[in-house]
Amino acid sequence: MSSTMKPPKGFAPMSCCWSTATMQKRLPFLAWLPDYTWHALKMDFIAGISVGLTVIPQALAYAEVAGLPPQYGLYSAFMGCFVYFFLGTSRDVTLGPTAIMSLLVSFYTFHEPAYAVLLAFLSGCIQLGMGFLRLGFLLDFISCPVIKGFTSAAAIIIGFGQIKNLLGLQHISRQFFLQVYYTFHNIGETRVGDAVLGLVCMVLLLVLKLMRDHVPPVHPEMPTGVRLSHGLVWTATTARNALVVSFAALVAYSFQVTGYQPFVLTGKTPEGLPDAHIPPFSVTTANGTISFTEMVQGMGAGLAVVPLMGLLESIAVAKSFASQNNYRIDANQELLAIGLTNILGSLFSSYPVTGSFGRTAVNAQSGVCSPAGGLMTGALVLLSLDYLTSLFYYIPKSALAAVIIMAVVPLFDTKIVGTLWRVKRLDLLPLCVTFLLCFWEVQYGILAGTLVSMLILLHSVARPKIQVSEGPMLVLQPASGLHFPAIETLREALLSRALETSPPRSAALDCTHICNIDYTVVLGLGELLEDFHKRGSTLALIGLQVPVLRVLLSADLKGVLYFCTLEEAEKYLKQEPGTQPYNGSEDSVPEHKIALLKA
């Protein structure tokens, strides 16, 4: 007897294709890992090293922006590399601390590490929930002018916030307007050493960036020496942040040896990775214990702004590079990746992170082939925590300030005003509202800009353009659909042009652009039909789409006339023989539409 049991007759074994596809969708690395090659491994290794050399000095600098000790930048820089390997759908994106998120953290966490870590955990929970509920579409309601206004304001806030470190000024307020006042008020206290070193670092970063942008592509026919020199230049310019910070640290160490230190230094950075522990749900201070509820109340709007802006920044970066490199991303899967990164990162004292445009650009330009490049980046960050923290002591704050300023300059879009002026001037309103109010409070700027954008959108829905055509009968065509706020506009147009004339005219409503209607619109059409009937005129509906026709038939409106074309409506008004309207019952509807209605 065979040991293989045959299935009963008529039984079909369930295919495993569905489960495999689902697993690959939830764990995207299962889709590309089986076809992974040695060439891809080499390119990912190079890209991972390049991004690692970029993220280490940036992480130290961004911790300063967030108002946290420098090690928290490094604590935030590695978890996303590992999580995104398993869950990410973009081969280019790198998750970690960014200038925007660091600014938001500084606003909402009072420069307290415990608040920052808890904010990372709660933001991750919100992002993960949005991913499971497939709520990524909510981000579509934040328009491009709002994003541009916010990022441009953030660039100024972050950049000016580093002037104090660039000049070596002490005890400067972090509130933007007070910061501006006290920076100029205390300009006489500028430390010459910090100012000179900071400006030199900025110049070096600028020169290296320009060299990176103008390095010619390598061709196989080039001599070996040329290709080698090209590779050295490419490496130096790509790792420019690490090179410049290392140069500044070496200069500071040289002065330290002589017994004279003209720079403000980063100072001692704790060695190694902190032990894994749950996020702090309460904080003990000299004045007592702050409960979880009080911490949440203290963070306030940050619990909405931080996770939403984190998702928005990361998905915008992912979509941008996916478009450039001809592949697609799954926005809801990206929400899961970012959310889980923040949750797991908070166990190791991370503050909220998101996708970095600058480091993603380095990743893409380095020829990365998969998210595996992030493994090398994460490993490099962990190695720096174990072995390099003693060297971070000598990094001048002015050098880190130069790194931050040069990183945020591209965030300020100098062309957006001219572009919107040419394309649609009304979009300048949410841009300016967001930009100006962000200097007061970030959440007010984003909220106000979004509300203005929504009002502009709702105004176009409530007051759609109605095209009017004169002929044997008056024809009105809503240009962008018909929703319940717009029924009053349609009513006023029909009354003023058809019924308030002498004698009253018949009219046709061209429904070609109307895809669906609601009950309020049905009631409004019913009232219009009654008004036309009382004046002895006719209101005909032409070009109805099936969903609209289905709703009208269900409503059983009295006296409504449907026609397929304007010509049929005009023939009916002239009482030409053979022309019959579709008068509100399914029996009068053309056969092809009946088939669609019953489908």
Nearest partner of 238 among 271, 211, 199, 268, judged by Cα: 211
Q: Over the stretch 97-155, which tens digit does the pLDDT of each residue have?
A: 999 999 999 999 989 999 999 999 999 999 999 999 988 888 888 888 998 999 899 99
Query: Which residues lie closer than 8 Å to 6 by C-beta, 6 or more apart?
Result: none
Confidence of residue 590 (pLDDT cuts 50, 70, 90): low
pLDDT greater than 70 at residue 6: no
Q: Mean pLDDT across the stretch 257-280?
A: 90
323 versus 73: which is more confidently predicted? Answer: 73
Would the pTM count as exceeding 0.85?
A: no
DSSP class of residue 582?
B
pLDDT greater than 60 at residue 8: no
553 versus 262: which is more confidently predicted? Answer: 262
Kindly state the tokens that stand for 276.
């894994």
Confidence of residue 273 (pLDDT cuts 50, 70, 90): confident
Kindly state the tokens that stand for 284.
């003990």
Q: Would you call 590 helix, strand, or coil by DSSP? A: coil
Answer yes or no: are the C-beta atoms of 318 and 329 closer than 8 Å: yes
Weakest-pLDDT range from 222-231, 494-503, 586-595: 586-595
Mean pLDDT estimate for the chain: 87
pLDDT score at 4: 44
Answer yes or no: are the C-beta atoms of 596 and 544 closer than 8 Å: no
Query: Which residues lie closer than 8 Å to 184 by C-beta, 6 or more apart?
Result: none
pLDDT score at 203: 96
pLDDT greater than 50 at residue 12: no
Q: Mean pLDDT across the stretch 387-396?
A: 92
pLDDT score at 387: 92
| Sign of the alpha-carbon torsion through 297, 301, 333, 278 | negative
503 upstream amide cis, omega within 30 of 0: yes
pLDDT score at 599: 42
Over 327-348, what HEC string results?
CCCCHHHHHHHHHHHHHHHHCC
Q: Over the stretch 14-39, which tens digit does the pLDDT of each residue have?
A: 444 457 878 888 899 999 999 999 99
Confidence of residue 205 (pLDDT cuts 50, 70, 90): very high
pLDDT score at 235: 83
Distance CA 361, CA 358 (A): 5
Confidence of residue 560 (pLDDT cuts 50, 70, 90): confident
Nearest partner of 568 among 587, 586, 553, 590, judged by Cα: 590
- pLDDT above 90 covers what percent of the chain? 52
pLDDT greater than 50 at residue 552: yes
DSSP class of residue 479?
B
pLDDT score at 580: 53
Answer yes or no: are the C-beta atoms of 445 and 437 closer than 8 Å: yes
DSSP class of residue 172?
-
CA dihedral 442, 447, 452, 454 (to 10 degrees): 140
53 versus 596: which is more confidently predicted? Answer: 53
